Structure 1
């Protein structure tokens, strides 16, 4: 979609997501074998504008609300978790809301509705070039070097976002501080994809490592969602960095858990005859439904504060992050229960519950779901610790 076309409504976006999801069901094994989503799936998502849910409207995106992002990612993750994970990470296009207008225009001029792979941990360094070497007139130029792990969707990406630590020339390592980390936006042609994604779960997400060596990036093609406000005016770009990330991720787990419930119900009737098993899974299913309600309620609270007051309070953001983390933990319990109660049938590679079990636990390894992150959110709510605002 270009900036001159009509913005898709939430109803249209969700309707398209459901249509594409129906087409994806049954193709999960092929996605795993390819270790990346198919070109057909990627282009269907792109054509429907689903990689641009959070992209600013002036750049041709929908710039939609968090509830729609959660619901769309849920639908695709229900159909094929690897494709859903790739779509979720693809919402990194919304980080262009923190970049300059020039940066955004350059990205979408190359390809409308861009697929952007990202590595948000600062695994590389950006050496600040001496003035005699730097030709940029809008700030310094950074020479990027490093290797970034787990770049979902990278084999189809048009652009990459790579977090890096600024480093003075002649210094062995960056001096860490508030203004050290920036995010560089690079065309795919300047990034080398390494064939490293040989894993247990989310096999089809194409989350390979990438390498960047000696690429010079002008300051105008960088941004910092940690310490700089969004350049675009919409309320999405008044979210903190971490709240935006949680919005991207929240729909994945509930979609996967929903699929596990459906696969459990599809088991042969004889396998479901055990009353104790029925009651056990009934409780898990209710826990899943409650987690989804909590997720959307917490997202609505964040959105209400952002749209009315211009920002969301740390406690509100922490509760939203907690709801996302809770939905992941519940999804793990639901999938574990379905897998165990299914018996020997689920041991086979081709069984959906085995794939869901591998995928949900692979997702649980993400830092956003980790104990360190949960501790940080608990400190916000119980101790009033508002340090590291960008990570709340």
Structure 2
């Protein structure tokens, strides 16, 4: 499969996603028909390193693929930024024997989800860790064979440190059967993502199924993304997801405008100058945000491809672009929702579902105002680096 086909794989999913969107909401996890199609088309593994069945797309290709997926349906897009980066990370950074156990032994047909934040503790024992913890919002775990779980290694009751002020943070890859799912996924939006809470109780995880959360040293794969680590890939996903959902609302309200008439108003919505101005303003804002995202991630990617180090400033630039794109997308969505009037409150419509989705997805801590503050402190020279960027 050629790299430029990845966006096309997502686009080819439109009919399937539309047909199963309501089912996903009712099931509170992605409908099996969509999951099966993601595998049969090759979309599910497309972001993986080549040894794990992927095509190693560029950031521009990943971003446009995620935008397309989120445009189709917010939950489908969220699965794109949950399952696909999770398997990308595990396939890229697991040791060889762990990769063989998880990927090779299953012919690379591995769906993975979960929470990478270190909400667990791993007591060091011979050959690995005894892992215990509880994680919230494990996106994509409803249909995942393996679950990612971030944790802090503990040796003789003490946390471990990789440098001054920076704790050792690891990710464990755990078979589904060893995870207790707590569910709790009764939410306003993104209902079809199976983002269950889960717990792990004193489960042995061998070293071969762990890797460092902030590593940028790939064990397989040759794309610049593999040498940039999980944070840029995750940030690009959040930015693209928000842009995709917002674009669906802008497109839908523009289509609606030709036939939409407000009560006591003989003019169509499309003929009203206030609507025309609002549409122009918000579409322009959306396009500007997308270009910023492509520029920030593309510039960092090009530098890494040329052999340069990924600097704190580059990482700050990417994270701020993601926050800005998210804020812009939310503003576009709010305008589209108001412009559509009562059409946007009809339960089950694309506009109604997208509005719920974007106000759920943009609550995520990864694109919060603290991220912008941390990045600005790097720009201002107040700190040399923020390791979490």
Q: Distance in 1 between matches of 2:183 and 2:230?
A: 29
Q: CA deviation at 1:86?
A: 0.9
1:115 and 2:111 correspond: yes
Contact 1:125 1:144 (8 Å CA) reproduced: yes
Could you say which residue in structure 1 is the equivalent of 2:295? 297
TM-score (norm 2): 0.90
Q: For each residue in 1:217-264, what CA deviation from the matched residue of structure 2 results, as whole angstroms up to 9, or x when unmatched?
A: 111211103256332352222104321321333321111111001110
Gap change, CA 1:151 and 1:349, over 3 Å in 2: same
Alpha-carbon displacement from aligned partner over 1:49-94 (angstroms, at most 9, x marks no partner) = 2222332212222222111111111111111110110121112111
Aligned with 1:143 (options 117, 130, 152): 130
1:203 offset after TM fit, Å? 0.9
State the alpha-carbon separation in 2 of the partners of residues 74 and 22 from structure 1.
Answer: 16
Q: Give the one of 141, 145, 155 matched to 1:168.
A: 155
- Distance 1:233-1:346 versus aligned 2 partners, 3 A rule: closer
- Asked if the contact 1:50/1:87 (under 8 Å) is kept, the reply is no
Aligned to 2:175: 187
CA contact 2:115–2:149 (8 Å) conserved in 1: yes
Report what 2:86 is aligned to: 92
Residues 111-148 of structure 1, C-alpha deviation per residue, up to 9 Å, x if partnerless? 5242110211111111123xxxx3x3xxxx21111111
Are positions 1:253 and 2:242 aligned together? yes
Distance 2:360 2:183 in 1: 18
TM-score of the two chains, using structure 1 as the length reference:
0.89
- Is 1:31 aligned to residue 18 of structure 2? no
Equivalent residue, structure 1, for 2:48: 55
Partner SS state of residue 52, structure 1: coil
**1:358 lines up with 2:356 in the alignment:** yes
For 1:325-356, what per-residue CA distance to the aligned partner results, in whole angstroms no more than 9, with x for missing partners? 11111110111001111122322222322211
* Structure 2 equivalent of residue 4 of structure 1: none
Task: Measure, in 2, the Cα distance between the counterparts of 1:232 and 1:310.
Answer: 19
Taking the TM superposition and a 5 Å limit, the aligned residue runs for 1:329-348 are 329-348=327-346
- Larger CA deviation: 319-328 vs 358-367: 319-328
The 1:27–1:39 alpha-carbon spacing in structure 2 relative to 1, beyond 3 Å, is closer
Matches within 5 A, 1:212-223: 212-223=200-211
Aligned counterpart, 1:367: 365
- Cα distance in structure 1, aligned partners of 2:306 and 2:295: 16
- Residue from 100, 103, 106 that aligns with 1:105: 100
